[in-house]
Structure 1
Amino acid sequence: VIKLPIGVMGLATASTLKHIIENIPEVKSLLKQFDVVLVSGRVEGDVGVLEDVIKRPVFKGSIDPSLLPETIGYLLEGGTLSKKGPAEEILLKNRLEQFKSSYRTVVSNIKPAFSIGPLKVPLRGPPVLLAAETPVTIPVSKVREYSSWYEGQGAEIVIVGIPVEEDLDSSIKRVREAERGLNKAVLAVDSMKAKVIESGFEMGAELALSLHPGNIEAFLPYRREKAFVVIPTDPLAGDVYDAESGLPALKQTIAKAGSYGYEKLIADLILAPPCTGLLQSIESYLKFSSEVGSVPFMMGFANVTELFDVDSIGVNAILSALAVEVGASLVLVSEESWKARYSVVETKISLMMASVARQKGMPPVDLGIDMLVLKSKNPSRQSGVLLKAKERVEVNGESLKEELDRWGHVVIEVDHETGRIIACVFKAGAKTPERCYYGRSALNILKRIISDNPELSKQHAGYLGVELEKAEIALATGKQYTQDRPLEIGYSSKLELVKEVLEGLQA
């Protein structure tokens, strides 16, 4: 180990390193002994300039040191790193490509029970198809938008939810609007009115919810061509059942439908809400899967996600894993309430992860994709810059004068263990910070920096405000913070992820 005359590697440039290597023979001699040289991903500039000095390939490694083993492994497998950008982006792409390959294998190994439109319905998952139902509370004018939105989130089937009290003409318009909003997704209709379902079939719907003892004779003309989700009893008759009584009743309804010649049936055992029989209903899925091996079955998540006041992401993830374990063919989700927003993409990614994990015989971790929206797998890292400061200033809630004027240079970090934001000011050309501020409030730290540095420019003050606020969000949510890099909080990247993984599967 040779100590370099650099205070903080994040402030180093490729030109600085080149100058150091050229002027310290010991460093130059050591580097020439290696086949490949990796430089911290934090270094600014093109590190290819170092190759002229040491005559060895030079690449940028990762910003996060914990990724070094993966980086080296990637190189040993024949991968190529960048001389201009950190390894994180390349490693992420490599993981994604590996996941896509694994998921394609899962999809190609499907054992279909039958097809609905272009979709093959697996007799037992994985893979597991995803259906999303439009809220019954939205106006007809919004149905097309929701249908397109759900397909964009990864739903292979979009179900039009029909309000019970809605008149026939409005319901038919609702179905038509949904059909117009779809590209490749299969259209389905969920209604207690046979005429609405029949109209849906005429408009191209391939699936209906739900077939029960009270309406089996109503759809005989469609019994071979169209698919039906089967429920145990007639809801219009006021029949109620639990997990224990529902399974025998469902078997009877399936047998009756079969006797009438229905060929495409999907069983729905109905998942009970939390704390009211959820576990027992999961057990009924297991029993059905083993006892009725010739009929695919569906698991609807809404009774759990909508009837549990917690963030939907974890609920949808664990339910997806359970759906894969019990062999569900189809999962149904809805976004009826605002808290369930993005349930479709949450479930889609979770189902893909669980499907690949099931194939590999492992838990759904380190698969190449994740559904970590508000948290990271690792905490933010500190460079030790706080300890190198000539002066350390703890920033609390004192009132400070707000004057945006001119600027200095600041390095920002987050320490999750102590719950602090750290902001260190470097004077021009300095290798160690002049002063470090730390505290929990981005606003208070910004005020203090502005007060102590009257030369701070408005542009840099604005930049500091953004970065400090990102640091505070990271502190509050557990997200990993790296200065000048996005926190990746939100769903935009997850929507793109769905498109990336599914690209080419429907071709």
Structure 2
Amino acid sequence: MAEHILFLTGKLAEKQLRQILADMQPDFEYTVHQLGLSVAALMTADMIQRRLKDTFGADRAIVPGRCRGDLDQLSQAIGLPFERGPEELRDLPEYFGKRAKKPDLAHYELRIFAEITDAPRMELDAILRQAQDYRRDGADVIDLGCLPATPFDHLEQAVGLLKAEGFRVSVDSLETDDLLRGGRAGADYLLSLHEDSLWIADEVASTPILIPARHGDLDSLDRAIAGMQAKNRDFIVDPILDPIHFGFADSLVRYHETRRRHPEVEIMMGVGNLTELTHADTVGINAMLLGVCSELDVRAILATQVSKHARTAVREADRARRIMHAAKALNTLPKHIDDGLMAVHDRAPFPYTFDELQDLGKQIKDPSYRIQISREGLHIFNRDGFHSATDPFDLYPKLGVEHDGGHAFYLGVELGRAQIAWQLGKRYAQDEALNWGCLLETTEPTVDPHVYKQAGSTLQKPADVPHPGPLPKGEGA
């Protein structure tokens, strides 16, 4: 027997919901029930519990995505599972099409080494705070960077402190003394050894990351690999990624050639030479480089967050590795897996056409303003009129809020958000912060205009809506 789903909605959305469901030709039975309120987004769990008198024999119920309240408690009270649907009705077909196949982003194989580049100049407590931040953003290994001609007198203490706090640690230097000190202090990894410094691996238990003895010399890297294999020791190899216009394309070829020569070895890619040295949004750079890593089975990257424009590089790499892992497991493109890397744009920024919004405006019978965007610009409307512009300042004289500072402030904030969304091609939803993907893992609470109306000129925040929280830690290699 087909599943029976109950859809709860409001007066203004009922007709559109019925049409969308009819066009979907779903493989389930459904009932659309209008709860007696005009705007579906105003629905709350308490309101549903008071007003819903019949569940129509449904197996579960779907409420609007912006419905506030405790749905678990509601489900127990009524004896029917309740869940939130999409925030926009136009997204309902995709909601059902993807729902059963939503990829699991809890898994990954690639490890992120996050470098603290100024470790020699930092106090121990500052090193620990930075390590904790990196771990929160997804780092698996904390890399202590050593600086040329800069003493790192507290190197051993730093390694010991991080190990005591449960971190995996690497020490990053081309100076043999630094590497020996780090290895003897208990570092898990040493960056970087080459064929002339392999003897260090005999002195310590740390896993070495191998690089060519001379830049681009893969034959020397081959000899270092053979040396470690002869010792029956674990190791990782790094052919070195070069910046754009300084050998980038050739360095990608080296990674491909290294994988061809050594199908089974562990490979690392230092992505910082692209994220740090290219003035472009790092989220896209990380996506591309992690895609290369996925294809070549590169299972470790070295990431840095030195430049201000790269300050979320670790978090971006964490999301990218999860998406690429899921896409690879499903043998599909890294598309429609997750929107965490869609920081600046959205896949479907304008769910309604200008004509549809005008039709909606004609149905509004109350004075509360609705704000929407379409390809044409910003639109604000209530029972008294429908106004459009591309600049919020052009709308201000038409809104009649010159003597209501609180209301003017609220509308200014919302129209400002709407303008940014329209300019960038992002999805805008009134009373919701813009979605910046993995750049912001949490959403700041926003002002509820309906609470505002009840409170007169005092702006108040709505009850907190549970946030899904950060992604779970995955299964590292």
Normalised by the length of structure 1, the TM-score is 0.69
Distance between the aligned counterparts of 1:190 and 1:334, measured in 2? 12
Paired letter, 1:472:
Q
Q: Which runs of 5+ in 1 are unaligned?
A: 1-8, 18-33, 65-78, 108-126, 234-238, 391-406, 427-432
Q: Equivalent of 2:432, from 481, 485, 494?
A: 485
What is the 5 A alignment of 1:145-294? 145-172=129-156, 175=159, 179=163, 183-222=165-204, 225-233=205-213, 239=214, 241-242=215-216, 246-259=217-230, 261=231, 263-294=233-264
The structural deviation recorded for 1:208 is 0.3
Please tell me whether residue 309 in structure 1 is matched to residue 279 in structure 2: yes
Q: 1:62 to 1:380 in 2, by over 3 A?
A: farther
Paired letter, 1:362:
T
SS at structure 1 position matched to 2:345: coil
The structural deviation recorded for 1:356 is 1.3
Distance between the aligned counterparts of 2:174 and 2:247, measured in 1? 25
> Who is 2:23 aligned against?
none
> Who is 2:75 aligned against?
none
Distance between the aligned counterparts of 1:56 and 1:449, measured in 2? 48
Q: 1:257 to 1:444 in 2, by over 3 A?
A: same
The structural deviation recorded for 1:281 is 2.1
Q: 1:35 to 1:411 in 2, by over 3 A?
A: closer
Q: Deviations over 1:448-503 (max 9, x none)?
A: 245x345x633322221221111112122221001122212263327998943326
Q: 1:44 to 1:143 in 2, by over 3 A?
A: same
Q: 1:133 to 1:437 in 2, by over 3 A?
A: same
Distance between the aligned counterparts of 2:339 and 2:391, measured in 1? 32
Distance between the aligned counterparts of 2:350 and 2:49, measured in 1? 28
Q: 1:203 to 1:54 in 2, by over 3 A?
A: closer
Instruction: Report % sequence identity.
Output: 20
Distance between the aligned counterparts of 1:54 and 1:328, measured in 2? 52
The structural deviation recorded for 1:258 is 4.1
Paired letter, 2:239:
L
Distance between the aligned counterparts of 2:308 and 2:420, measured in 1? 22
SS at structure 2 position matched to 1:36: strand
The structural deviation recorded for 1:80 is 4.5
What is the 5 A alignment of 1:135-146? 135-136=117-118, 139-141=121-123, 142-146=126-130
Higher radius of gyration, 1 or 2: 1
SS at structure 1 position matched to 2:369: strand
Q: Equivalent of 1:463, from 386, 410, 418?
A: 410
The structural deviation recorded for 1:332 is 1.4
Paired letter, 2:243:
P
> Who is 2:380 aligned against?
423
What is the 5 A alignment of 1:3-18? 12=12
Q: 1:439 to 1:342 in 2, by over 3 A?
A: same
Distance between the aligned counterparts of 1:218 and 1:200, measured in 2? 11
Contact between 1:12 and 1:43, CA under 8 Å: does it hold in 2?
A: no
SS at structure 2 position matched to 1:150: helix
Q: Equivalent of 2:103, from 89, 99, 122?
A: 99
Contact between 1:316 and 1:350, CA under 8 Å: does it hold in 2?
A: yes
Alignment: residue pair count = 398
Please tell me whether residue 37 in structure 1 is matched to residue 32 in structure 2: yes
Contact between 1:413 and 1:483, CA under 8 Å: does it hold in 2?
A: yes
> Who is 2:368 aligned against?
409
> Who is 1:430 aligned against?
none
> Who is 2:387 aligned against?
437
Contact between 2:290 and 2:324, CA under 8 Å: does it hold in 1?
A: yes
Contact between 2:11 and 2:40, CA under 8 Å: does it hold in 1?
A: no
Q: 1:378 to 1:98 in 2, by over 3 A?
A: closer
